[in-house]
Amino acid sequence: MRVTSFVTLTALGVILNLTPCSPVYSEEQDFTGNIDITGETSNVNGSKAKSHEYSDGRTSKVTGDVNFSHNSPGFFFGFSAKDPGYDTQHYRLEGGSYGVLKGWFDYNVIVHNVTTGARSFYSGVGSDNLTLTGTPSADSNTWVSGFDYYTKRKKFNTGFDLKMISPFFFNAEYSHEKKEGIKPTGTQGSFSGTNYFIELPEPIDYRTNSINLEAGYARTPFFLSFNYLYSNFNNQMSDLNFTTDTATGRGGPNFSLAPDNKIQRFTLKGSVKLPMNSKFNMSLSDARTTSETSSFDSFRGKVDTKNYDLIFTTNPMRFLEGKVYYKYYDRDNKSYSGAVVNLFDTAGLETFVTNPIAYTKNTFGGDLGFRLPAKFHLSAGYKNVKTRRKLVDEIDPGSINPEDVLPYTTDNIFNADLKWNGLDFMSAWIGYKRLARGATYQTTESRNLIFRNYSYAAQDSDIFKTGVDLSPIDDLNLSFEYDYKRSIYNDTLFGVKGSTSNAISFSGDYAFRKLLRFSTYFDAEKTTLDQLATTSATTRSPQWKSTLEDITYGYGAKAEIYAIPKKLTFTLQGDYMRNHGTNDFDFYGTTAQFLTAFQLPAGGSGLPVNIPNVDSYRRYSLRFVTAYNWSDSIVIKAGYIYDRYKYSDAQLNGYQYVVTPIAAPIGYITGAYANPSYNVNTVFLALTYRF
Amino acid sequence: MLACSLPASFAMGAAEKKDGPYAGAGICQECHVEQTKSMSKTPHWKKAIKDSPVANKGCESCHGPGTTHVSEGGGTTKGLITFGKKETAKQKSGACLVCHENSKEMTFFDVGVHKQNDVTCVDCHTVHNSAVHNLKTTQPGLCLACHRNMRSQLNRQAHHPIQEGKVKCTDCHTPHGGFGPKMIRADSTPDLCYKCHAEKRGPFAFEHPPVAENCLTCHQPHGSNHENLLTSKSPRLCQGCHTPNGHNNRPYSFQNRLGGSATGSQNRFVSQGCLNCHGNIHGSNRSPFFVR
C-alpha cells in the first residue's frame, strides 16, 4: 500500500510539473537526460569467458542507455536504463517529494563468466543429479556434456525513505536476488573400487530475500536509530548427487550444497554531543543465524552474534584530537555439537563429530592527533585485540583433537603518522604501524604440535608508508607513494614463516591550456611468502622450504587531445599489467630421502623442481576514441580497442581432462579456469543525444 | 533535560560561528551567475526542504556572511568560507555538518578515519552541480585519487567488478564514518561478505575455522593475481596451515604439475589444487574434510 501511494504521489508530481525548462537559477523545474546508442563488434581469439568476464558474451551488439531526470520545486523523478536485454542490464527508477519522501526501484544484473567450453562425462550438468553409466572414458572428446562455468545475479531492490517526519526518520528496503549458474567444485570418488579426484560442475540456484527497516531520531545533539534486518537464503537444491562407488566410506554419492539459512539482526545506534567538542557514539547489535540440513537428523545450525561498539571522540583544543574505543564481538555457536550419522550412508556406519566454531574478540584502543607548528599533523594510536577461540564442548578439552584446539591470541598494535602541508604546492606523509601478536595454546597437546596455523600464530608485523603530492605548476599534479610490509612468525616451526611486500605507485597528470590533458601511472609490487614443511608429524627439522614470489607491475598513459576545443576530441589510452609468479624450493637432508619421500622418479634429482610460472600473466590494452560534438545535444563517438591477455601457470598449462601421470588416470577435471588467454579487437560507434 | 543544559554552540557549525552581517539572499547571483544557475538544480536549492540553504540564508548558509565581500566589490573573501586551502578541514566539513550531521549517514563522521586524516566533504563532493550524490567524479576513480595502492589491486586478473562499474567502493565501505573495521558497512568482515555471499553463512556442521572468523585469511577483496581473489595459490595457500604428515606436506614442485614426470596417485597439483578434492572448503554438512 505504501509503495502504491508512493508511485501515485511521484507520478502525480511528474504530471503536474512536467513543463518546459525555465531559465536560470531560480528554483524551478527542469527536465534533462540523454539517450545513448552504441553498436560494437569484436573479434575474440581465445577465451571468450575471460575476455568478457563481467560483460555480455555476445561479440556483436547494439546497446542503448537511457537516463532522464525531472526536477521541480517540490518533486524529483529519475529513470535510467543501461544495456537493456543484455547480461549487464541495470534499471533504476526513483522519485519523490523534497523533504517528504524518496522511493526507488532498482534491478541489476551482474554476470561473471568463468570458463566457456568445459566438459564432463556426467549427464545432467546444471542439475543436482550427475549420472554416468559405467566408468569414465579416458578420451575426454567423447564426454557427453559441454557447458560453461558462470554465475549470474539478478537483484531487485526497492525501498523508501520517509523524511517528512523530521527530525524522526523511517526507511524500509526490500531486496530479492536470484543467483544462477554453474561453478567448479571438487570431490573424491571412486569407480570400480579405485579412488579419483573428480572436478564437479556444481549447480547454483539461490534465492535471497532481505528486509531492512530503520527508524530513528536525528537532531543535534542527539541521534538514535533502531534497525531490523531479516534475510532468508534459500538454495533450490540441497545435495549434488553424482555417480560413484559408495563402498569407500567417503560420504556416499552426495555432495552437500549450501544449506538454507536465515538471519535476523537488531541494531541500536546512537550518539550524543558532549561539552568540549566531544561526542559519544555507540552501536549495539544482536543477531541469530540458523540453518537446516538434510544430511544429519540431529544437526541444526544456530549461531548468535553480538557486537557492541562504544566510541568517544573529542577535540577539546584546536591542536588536539582524541578517540578512545571499545568493541566486543562474540560469535556464540549454539549449533548441535556431537556425533552425527550420515543419513546417506546406507550402511549407517559413517559417523562424524561436528566442530562448531565460536570465538570472542575484545578490542580497545585510542588515537591522538596533534596539530603542530609549521602545518605538521602528528597522530598516534594503540589498539589491543584479545581473541578467545573455543570449541563448544570444552568439558574435556584434552580429549579434543589437538589440531582442533585453537589458540587464544593477543594483538598489540601501535601506529604513528606524520603529515606535512607546509607548502601550497606540496604535501608529504610518513607512517609506521606495528603488530605484535602473541598466541597461547589451550592444551598441552595443542601447544606441543609442531605446526602452527599462521592465521592464529604469534606474529611480528611492520608496515611503513610514505608519500608525497606535488603541484609545482598549475595543471600539473604528481604523486608518489611507497609501502612496505613485513610479517614474521617466529614461533612457527612449519607453515608460513614470513612474508614481505614492497610496493610503489606513481601517478601524474598535466593539462596544457585547453588543448591537451595527459595522465600516466606506474604501480609495482614485489611480494614473497616463505613456508617450511616436514614430512613427519614429529620431526622438528624442516625438510623443504618454499618461496613464492610475485612481481606485479602495471603502467599506463592517457592523452586527450582537444583538436577543436569543445568540438573534436581524440583520446588515446594504453595500459599494461603483468604478474610474474614463481615458486622456488630448498630441500634439506639427503637427496635419497627427498626422492623417497616425494616420489620423484629415479634419477630425478637433476630434474627442475622450481616452478617458473605461478599465475603469471600479461594484459595489454590499447584504445583510440574520437568524439565529435555535432551540436550541444548530439555527440558521435567512434573507436577501436585492442585487448590481449596472456596467462601461464604450471597447474593449467598443457591441460589434460584425464590426469594420467603413468598408465592409469588419477583424476578427472572439466576445464575450469583452463586456457584463459585471449586477444580481442573491438570497433564501436556511439551516438549520444542529450536533452 | 540534557538537551536543555547543553550550550547551543555545540550544535553550531563553522558557518554559523563566522562574524559579520549577512548580505542577503539574491545578491550573490548578480555576479556568480554560473554557480547559482547550477545550484538551482540541486536539492540544496529546494525550499521544500526546510533546512536547505535556499530556505535559510542562501549562499551565505554555507559560505558565511558576505557583506564585506560585497562591499569591497568582490575584492576580498574576508569572512567567507571559500572551501579552499586557507580554511582548515574542520571549518570546511563543519559548514556541511551543520545540516548533514542530522542524518544517519553523517552522524558518525567523527568516528571515521577520513575525518581523522583531514579528508573533508569538498574533497569528494561539489555542491554546485547535480551529479549523483554531488560527487566530483565517479567511483572508483574518486577513491583511487587518494587510495593509490588500491589501483594495482583492482587491475589484477582476479577482481570484483569494480572497474567494470558493477560494484562500488561504497557498497562495502562507508566513507562517512562507521563502526566496522576499515570503515566497512558491517560489524565484522564475514558479516560484510555474507551480504552478497549468503550461501557462505552456514552455520555448517563442519566449519573451517578461518572461514568462520575472517574471510581475509584466504581472500584479498580488492583484487589478486590468483583466481577467486585468493591471497596465494593452492596448494601453497592451504599448506600455510596444513603441514603435518600426509599428502598435504609434499612440496608439489614443478615435477608434479600437469604433464610432469612425478609419479604417485596423490602427488599432483593440477587445476584447483587441494580444492580438486576438498571442494566444500567454506563449510560442509557432510564431511569434516570438506570433500562432500
Overall average pLDDT of the B204-218 stretch: 91
DSSP string, B68-122: HHHHTTT---TT---SSTTS-HHHHHHHHHHHHTSSTTTTTGGGSHHHHTT--HH
B174/B190 Cα distance (integer angstroms): 16
pLDDT at B11 over 50: no
pLDDT at A235 over 80: yes
Residues B106-135: tens digit of each pLDDT: 999 999 999 988 999 999 998 887 667 788
pLDDT digit string, tens, across residues A193-228: 888 889 999 999 999 999 999 999 999 999 999 999
Question: With left for phi above 0 and alpha for psi between -120 and 50, is residue A673 left, alpha or beta?
Answer: left
Interatomic CA distance for residues A354 and A337, integer angstroms: 6
Q: Cell numbers at residue B273, please?
A: 589444487
H helix intervals, A388-488: 444-447
- Give ipTM to 2 decimals: 0.90
Residues A523 and A504 sit within 8 Å (Cβ to Cβ): yes
pLDDT at B178 over 60: yes
- Determine contact: A660 vs chain B, CB below 8 A: no
C-alpha triplet A5, A10, A14: angle, nearest 5°: 150
Q: Which amino acid is at B267?
A: N
- Using a CB cutoff of 8 Å and minimum separation of 24, what contacts does B53-58 make? B54/A27, B54/B25, B57/B22, B57/B25, B58/B24, B58/B25, B58/B26, B58/B28
pLDDT exceeds 90 at position A395 = no
Average pLDDT over chain B, rounded to an integer: 84
Does the structure show a pLDDT above 50 at A21?
no
Least confident of A172-181, A360-369, B148-157: B148-157
Is beta strand A60-71 parallel, antiparallel or unpaired with respect to A75-82? Answer: antiparallel
CA atoms of A614 and B56, how far apart (whole Å): 62
Q: Does the distance separating the beta carbons of A285 and B37 come in below 8 Å?
A: no
Q: How many CB atoms lie within 10 A of CB A418?
A: 17
pLDDT at A603 over 70: no
Between residues 86 and 115 of chain B, which touch chain A (CB distance below 8 Å)?
Answer: 90, 101-104, 107-108, 110-111
Contact check, Cβ <8 Å, A27/B54: yes
Q: Which three cell numbers stand for residue A260?
A: 538454507
CB contact under 8 A, A611 and B253: yes
Instruction: Report whether pLDDT(A4) > 80.
Output: no
% of chain B residues with pLDDT over 90:
38
Pairing between strand A129-130 and A239-242? parallel
CA distances B166 to A40, A155, A387, A494, B220, Å, are 20, 12, 35, 41, 18
The pLDDT value given to residue B17: 45
Look at residue A7 and tell me whether its pLDDT is greater than 50. Answer: no
Residue A158, pLDDT > 90, answer yes
Task: Record the cell numbers describing residue A342, joined without a space.
Answer: 550420515
Q: What is the rounded distance in angstroms from the CA atom of residue A253 to the CA atom of residue A187?
A: 10
Question: Which candidate, A365, A364, A342, A366, places its Cα nearest to that of A354?
Answer: A342
Residue type, B275: L
CB < 8 Å from A in window 236-255 of B: 236, 239-245, 249-251, 253-255
Residue B98 CA to residue A593 CA, distance in Å, equals 73
- DSSP letter for A257, please: P
Cα–Cα distance for residue pair B278/B288, rounded to 1 Å: 10
Contacts of B187 in chain A (CB under 8 A): 283, 285, 305, 307, 309, 329
Separation CA B210–CA A407 (nearest Å): 12
Confidence (pTM): 0.90
Report the DSSP pairing between strands A194-219 and A667-668: parallel
Kind plus residue range of the DSSP H or E element containing B3: helix B2-5
Distance (Å, whole) CA A102 – CA A98:
8
Task: Please state, in angstroms and rounded to a whole number, the distance separating the CA atoms of residues B252 and B257.
Answer: 8
Q: Quick one: average pLDDT of A528-546?
A: 82
Note whether B200 contacts A: Cβ–Cβ < 8 A: yes
C-alpha cell at A609: 623442481
Average pLDDT of the segment spanning A240-260: 77
H/E stretch holding A625 reads strand A616-629
What is the per-residue pLDDT across A580-598, written as a single tens digit (0 to 9) for each? 999 998 887 665 555 555 5
Task: Identify the CA nearest to B5 among candidates A179, A221, A336, A375.
Answer: A221
For chain A, give the longest Cα–Cα distance.
Answer: 89
Helix (H, G, I), strand (E, B) or coil at A592: helix
Evaluate if residue A350 carries a pLDDT over 70. Answer: no
| Listed ranges A553-557, B2-6, B50-54, B241-245; the one with the highest mean pLDDT | A553-557
Burial degree of A2 (CB within 10 A; 0-12, 13-18, 19+): exposed
Pairing mode, strands A634-648 and A168-191: unpaired
Q: What is the CA radius of gyration of chain A?
A: 30
Query: DSSP characters for A478-511?
Result: EEEEEEEEEEE-TT-SBEEEEEEEEEEEEEEEEE
Could you tell me the pLDDT band of residue B3, with boundaries at 50, 70 and 90? very low
C-alpha cell at B128: 554546485
CA distance B82 to chain A (A): 16
On average, the pLDDT of chain A sits at: 88
pLDDT, residue A599, reads 52
**A residues 140-179 near B, CB within 8 Å?**
166-167, 169
CA distance B274 to B251: 13
Grade residue B38 by pLDDT with cuts at 50, 70 and 90: confident
Q: Are B2 and A272 in contact (CB under 8 A)?
A: yes
Look up residue A86 and give its amino acid: Y
Phi and psi torsions of B214, nearest 5°: -160, 110
Partner-chain contact A251 B37, CB within 8 Å: no
User: What's residue A529's pLDDT?
Assistant: 95
pLDDT per residue as tens digits for the range B58-85: 888 888 888 888 888 877 777 788 888 7
Which DSSP state fits A345? -
Grid-cell match 609545482, residue found: A472
What are the distances in angstroms from CA A649 to CA A173, A653, B137, B233, B266?
45, 6, 38, 10, 20
pLDDT of residue A1: 40
Q: Which three cell numbers stand for residue B209?
A: 575455522
Higher pLDDT, A493 or A4: A493
> Residue A573: in which H helix or E strand, if any?
strand A568-587
Chain A residues 535-594 with a CB less than 8 Å from chain B: 535-537, 544, 546, 548, 550, 552-554, 575, 577, 579, 581, 583, 585, 587
Pick from A71, A273, A552: CB nearest B152 = A552
Q: What percentage of residues in chain A have a pLDDT greater than 70?
A: 88
A143 vs A137: CA distance, rounded Å? 7
User: Per DSSP, what are the bridge partners of residue A560?
Assistant: A517, A571
Give the pLDDT confidence score for residue A349 in this predicted structure.
Answer: 60
Count CB neighbours of A451 within 10 A. 22
| Sheet strands side by side (includes A239-242) | A129-130, A239-242, A254-256
Nearest Cα to Cα of residue A208 among B133, B288, B243, B197: B197
What pLDDT was estimated at residue A446?
A: 78
Q: What is the pairing mode between strands A320-333 and A357-372?
A: antiparallel
A301·B157 Cβ contact <8 A: no
Closest chain A C-alpha to B236 CA, distance in angstroms = 8
- Per-residue pLDDT at B51: 81
Which cell numbers in the block locate residue A341?
Answer: 550419522
The set of cell numbers assigned to A675 is 586456457
The number of beta carbons lying within 10 Å of the beta carbon of residue B129 is 14
CA distances from B235 to A449, A453, B75, B278 (A): 21, 15, 69, 11
Contact between residue B205 and residue A335 where contact means Cβ atoms under 8 Å apart: yes
pLDDT tens per residue across span A93-150? 999 998 899 999 999 999 999 999 999 999 999 999 999 888 899 899 999 889 999 9
Asked if pLDDT for residue A172 goes beyond 90, the answer is: yes
As given in the structure block, the three cell numbers for residue A355 are 566442530
Report cis status (omega within 30 of 0) of the bond before A661. no
Q: How many CB atoms lie under 10 A from the CB of residue A475?
A: 11
CA A46 to chain centre: 26
Q: Residue B84 class from Cβ within 10 Å (0-12 exposed, 13-18 middle, 19+ buried)?
A: exposed
Whether residue A573 is predicted with pLDDT greater than 60 in this model: the reply is yes
On whether the CB atoms of residues A408 and A438 are closer than 8 A, the answer is no
The conformation of residue B194, written as its DSSP 8-state character, comes to T
